[in-house]
A and B are shown apart, each in its own frame.
Chain A
């Protein structure tokens, strides 16, 4: 048994090592367009993991994620920027994450008491009120036009294209440098989130989601854990906000609207609720799909070139259509998200490998009700 376990572990380590190697090698081969997609995906993945903790694991519906992203992004810009304290950028980034956590903490009187769909709409209020503040508090946020983002600098190394740097014959601009920063931050997110979920807090949150009363009887402090889930999720959102700000190089209020919140919700549901890997996959799907489609839509049939007469379907619209349809179709055929889809495929494959003769009759050992799946310890 232990031999099998250690073998599985070795295989997993091998895969992780391969994935890390590929991800680290990519900036040497891809151009800025693909690297930017990667940057946005990594930032989105960090945010989605946070929302996954809150909505998927703890079962608290939140539509306010855009607000906490905005707190992170604007917090960084203000703390590091000229109208503002002008702190060293690395300090500002850390403080911005803490600020987002504090914002989540301030919301805890509501988060600890309000449940289900009520919480969803209450957090919706955060987005609208936050947007209003971003537009009106000119001196801090720059109003409608937003503010430009000071590049991050750690120990004299600047994550921007200001200084020349060439590695193995490849010029390293802002995208290449930010790529490694994004990877590092994403790795931190991945391991902390997995650790949280496997440990006592994760189990407490799952218990809360499945039955609050039962969890309370087992000794889980309900409102404390509910609030804590909100704070932790907001901190991940804040980190994602900082990463997005660095990637965009300018923050504007209109980006942090309801659409963004809804996109994050779509990410975790498409990826599969309650799993870190699922949230990551969903984040890449939702982030990369519209960008790729906008770029390549003009090569699709029935799509007019940009700027032609109105009435025709332009690339942006085609991208939106396909994006909407992709959401609907993914969930129609994989209601438990990409994570569940992969798990079912893997189970089927393993079954076929171990017991080849009866192919179809007994094949999917997975029961159809995903209520059973939902109770599994979430990785």
Chain B
């Protein structure tokens, strides 16, 4: 039973972090129709900046700088590099490939700097643990859940109550109508990229915190698991991304926790289990759990 609760809690914490990344994917996709392959390197950039700066600025200061810089890089990427193709229907394809190019450049540079090291992010939780009923859990995991919940609630409030959120939803619904209503598409889009970058930088902190050994150059690959999370929920639906992330986190933790009972599937199946779940869900619901059926006009 304790093992089960333990695993469940791990899954929740993991899911909360995936949610930060997946939400970023969804926001970018909603705003620009681009699948951002550079998300992993943005995440790594955020983590790297926090790791390098925390000696001088303290953890909070370093994190703030990292979040701002990552947001700026993501915004700059959109502004300067993702103009290829303009409004052509193929443009999203082309821009998706441009993000691959950007990813290669950023990732090469960060891998060169990080090398084989494990960087500590200097987070305040360290390796302390708390008792929560029958299970002991790492403080960093509790922090991950709390912070993700607060931040995600904040992002949803942004969508719901600010004029930027309204504009974003409007332009995701119908680009032309939104433009005719005076929505500044370019600005909305760039802000969406900034927000996604900031979320990725924040996620990096929890991915490198205690149970994990620290920030390494492969940390960014975790962003790939946010793809199924975003897809599971339905790519155009932020609440769906949340549900998908929790499902992915729980699946991964449960499969890893009960690996000895599942040895027939091979070692390390926990890492790929999210994808298996995703394919099964897509077979039943081709647009994700929360994706609506779009009406098609000819």
Contacts and interface: CB of A to CB of B under 8 A. Distances in A.
B131 interface: no
A125 B275 contact: yes
Interface string B182-226: 000000000000000000000000000000000000000000100
A132 B279 contact: no
Given A213-B298, A310-B115, A328 B81 contact: yes
Contacts of A320: 104-105, 108
Nearest to A325: B105
Contact of B102 (A269, A328, A368): A328
Given A136-B267, A327-B104, A331-B101, A118 B287 contact: yes
B94 interface: yes
Interface in B245-298: 266-269, 271-272, 275-276, 278-279, 282-283, 286-288, 291, 296, 298
A269 B231 contact: no
Which of B93, B96, B288 has its CB near the most chain A CB atoms (within 10 A)?
B93
Interface stretch (A23-31, A109-117, A161-169, A176-184): A109-117
A326 B19 CA distance: 33
A328 B96 CA distance: 10
B93 A273 contact: yes
B298 A132 contact: no
A284 interface: no
B227 interface: yes
B100 interface: yes
A114 B98 contact: no
A207 to B, nearest CB: 12
A185 interface: no
A291 interface: no
Given A258-B224, A335-B85, A115 B286 contact: yes
A242 B53 CA distance: 49
Contact of B282 (A118, A136, A211, A258): A118
Contact of B98 (A136, A327, A370): A327
Interface residues of B, number: 52
Interface string A215-244: 001000000000000000000000000000
Interface in B47-105: 81, 83-86, 88-91, 93-94, 96-98, 100-105
B36 to A, nearest CB: 11
Interface of A, helix, strand, loop or mixed by DSSP:
helix
A364 B224 CA distance: 42
Contacts of A265: 96-97, 100
A153 interface: no
Interface string B129-143: 000000000000000
Contacts of A118: 231, 235, 282, 286-288, 291
Interface string B13-47: 00000000000000001000001010000000000
B238 interface: no
A262 interface: yes
A135 B53 CA distance: 39
B108 A374 contact: no
A196 to B, nearest CB: 21
A113 B286 contact: yes
A327 to B, nearest CB: 3
Contacts, number: 149
Contact of A117 (B35, B81, B89, B279): B35
B272 A374 contact: no
A366 B35 CA distance: 29
A334 to B, nearest CB: 9
Contacts of A368: 86
A133 B275 CA distance: 13
A118 B286 CA distance: 8
B224 A214 contact: no
A331 to B, nearest CB: 5
Interface centre among B84, B85, B279 (most CB of A within 10 A): B279
The B contact surface, by secondary structure, is helix
B40 to A, nearest CB: 11
Given A121-B278, A128-B272, A136-B266, A370 B90 contact: yes
Contact of A266 (B97, B224, B267, B287): B97
A317 B35 CA distance: 25
B109 interface: yes
A302 to B, nearest CB: 13
Interface in A279-325: 310-311, 313, 317, 320-321, 323-325
B29 A117 contact: yes
Interface string A99-142: 00000000001100111011011101100110111011100000
A212 B17 CA distance: 37
A32 B86 CA distance: 43
B272 A331 contact: no
B280 to A, nearest CB: 10
A209 to B, nearest CB: 10
Contacts of A117: 29, 35, 231, 235
A371 interface: yes
A2 interface: no
B88 A324 contact: no
A125 B94 contact: no
A280 B142 CA distance: 52
B103 A122 contact: no
A311 B113 CA distance: 6
13 contacts: A113-B286, A117-B35, A117-B231, A117-B235, A125-B278, A132-B271, A136-B266, A320-B104, A321-B108, A327-B100, A328-B105, A331-B85, A370-B90
Across the A-B interface, give the 3 residue pairs with the lowest CB-CB distance, nearest first: A327-B101, A324-B104, A136-B266
Given A118-B291, A128-B271, A327-B101, 18 more contacts: A110-B279, A113-B283, A114-B282, A115-B287, A117-B235, A118-B235, A121-B228, A212-B296, A265-B96, A265-B100, A270-B97, A324-B104, A327-B97, A327-B100, A328-B81, A331-B85, A369-B86, A371-B89
